[in-house]
Chain A
Amino acid sequence: MGQIKINKPGLLTTVQDLGRYGYQQFGVSVSGVMDHVSARLANILVGNDEQEGLLEVTMLGPEIEFLDSVVIAVTGGDLLPTLNNQSINMNKSILVNKGDKLSFSGIKNGCRSYVAFSGAIEVPKLMGSKSTFTRGKIGGFEGRALKQGDILTIGKQSKPLSSLAGKENLENLYKYSNNIELRVIMGPQEDAFTKEGLETFLNNEYKVTNECDRMGYRLDGEKIEHKDGGDIISDGIAMGAIQVPSHGSPVIMMADRQTTGGYTKIGNVISVDLPKVAQAKPGDKITFKKIELKEAHKLLMDLEDKIAYIKEQCMKEKEIIRTIKYNLKVNGITYDVKVEELKN
């Protein structure tokens, strides 16, 4: 239990969870984290349920002051996190004390970091989710991005802080690069494109433009040719759908996408590669590779196995073989020191 205070909000810091499902038929966007894998790992590292509420930090990180002690973990894009101006490790759970300040000093790679807190961020669930959908002013913290002075509540952690700190994920599941290959399942409107159009899409490099946000990533490159324009009768849009309007430039639809849309979708980024999109920045280069649905599902299962393994490692209690107590005297002050020998 505790509180955190936002001293500086950063570029775009929002409360998210894995998304608001079940309301797309009513026109409510799913929202939720852009990079599902990093967010789940952050929660796993601090002993939370994977789907819990945490902070999504974008490019320019916030400064967060801890009003109580809590265990945190930072995952995803490396925005060079520091605690009281000392750099800290990514992908590791760290005990922070009352008065400590977490900030970010730049961008090493990627674009979005996830900060999880043991006990998770407590905001009211709206339509079953803690996610913020800023365009609709729905959910999260007052339906908006965090502002200076906001105070957020952290729930009760699953275990004592001391046993939650020090968990580390050494598995490097993603390498965030400026040259990104995205694997795609073709369709649902593959037929709306000429043979040349399909070849253009699969054989050219596309650059991420400045118009990239939680709603979608607009790309720039060779124009993709339609048979008869890019308009369709509106239908549903899945996460990672690659829309190509009549102008011929692709747009990858992300977390805050509309639930329905009237443009042709040439393909859909596979789930396993969506974190790569979430971590892409303006100027990054993207190529598309077609794969079959069965292969995409196999890749997803492999990824889930790896996440399950990481979770298992993090859940392991440390096994103490023996405890030795010392009595130390430093600069005239006496300390009782306890050392635990751990089983590897």
Chain B
Amino acid sequence: MYDKTKYLTAGDKALDMEFGNSISEQINNKIRSMAEAIGTQDIKGIVELVPTYRSLMIHYDPLETSYDQLVDSLKELENNLENISLPAPEVIEIPTLYGGDYGPDIENVSKHNDLSIEEVIKIHTSGEYLIYMLGFTPGFPYLGGMDTRIATPRLATPRTKISGGSVGIAGSQTGIYPIDSPGGWQLIGKTPIPLYDSQRESPILLKAGNYIVFKSIDEKDYLEIEEALKKGTYQYKIYPKKEESDDHGAN
């Protein structure tokens, strides 16, 4: 993390608050605090916020505020971040059916790392993954915190179509494809839960700063969840993240 946050112009309607030049939970925590702080204030001219790995992009309307005014307000908030009580991040459970037709590359992952398929699943389901940011396609989460024991290089030849809900591994990252798209990730499973659903009250399920956990399910569970989703009776499993003593070391 930088000693002093950089304020960078991104055209005449946006600016970046850049907090560092690495990917870390500490920086992410600062971004979350800053976004929360801005949310509690009514700063004139702010259009929307886009949190990313190491910066917070602030889109603003220059007809409503001057750049200098805006930066002054932001700096004042930044200086008082200790006073922001950040609500505990949420953890959302992603039921996932591993292997078989749902995760055709799980054997690649097990062979590459000299693990059994069961061990791959056990390791993948044991972590809480921080959602650093969403981007690439609507609702695509950039997740941190995967155990390097299951890290596997991307496919040599990307697939032209990966169906939405596919769970994959690329290098030391894991992720979920929200909508059908091309891609080169090693597919290890699939979730019936749509990360993007235009008809849902919140079309995008995930939010930067929260966490996800994967839960291994069988085909019967998968079909039941699919059915419940269709009927609108599926209950998303979301709970506050438990504080860890060594967590949130930031400021």
Contact = CB atoms under 8 A, between A and B. Distances in A.
B40 to A, nearest CB: 17
Contact of A260 (B47, B48, B50, B59): B50
Contact of A185 (B11, B16, B136): B11
A257 to B, nearest CB: 11
Interface in A104-162: 126-127, 135-138
Given A27-B138, A136-B137, A238-B59, A188 B9 contact: yes
Nearest to B62: A297
B54 interface: yes
B157 interface: no
Interface residues of A, number: 45
Q: Is the interface of B mostly helix, strand, loop or mixed?
A: loop
Contact of B47 (A21, A271, A293): A21
A268 B47 CA distance: 18
Contacts of B49: 25
A265 B62 contact: no
A270 B10 CA distance: 10
A270 B12 contact: yes
A11 interface: no
A240 B63 contact: no
Interface stretch (A77-85, A215-223, A228-236): A228-236
A22 B47 CA distance: 7
Given A271-B13, A297-B62, A300-B63, A136 B48 contact: no
A301 to B, nearest CB: 7
A26 B139 contact: yes
B165 interface: no
Contact of B134 (A25, A135, A136, A301): A25
A269 B139 CA distance: 27
B179 interface: yes
Nearest to B68: A294
Contact of A24 (B11, B18, B48, B67): B48
Contacts of B13: 238-239, 271
A43 interface: no
Contacts of B137: 27, 135-136
Contacts of A23: 138, 203-204
Contacts of B250: none
Contacts of A138: 138, 198
B185 interface: no
Interface in B34-50: 47-50
A258 interface: yes
Contacts of B136: 27, 258, 260
B50 A259 contact: yes
A238 B59 CA distance: 8
A127 B179 CA distance: 17
8 contacts: A26-B207, A27-B134, A233-B23, A235-B18, A236-B14, A236-B57, A241-B11, A296-B12
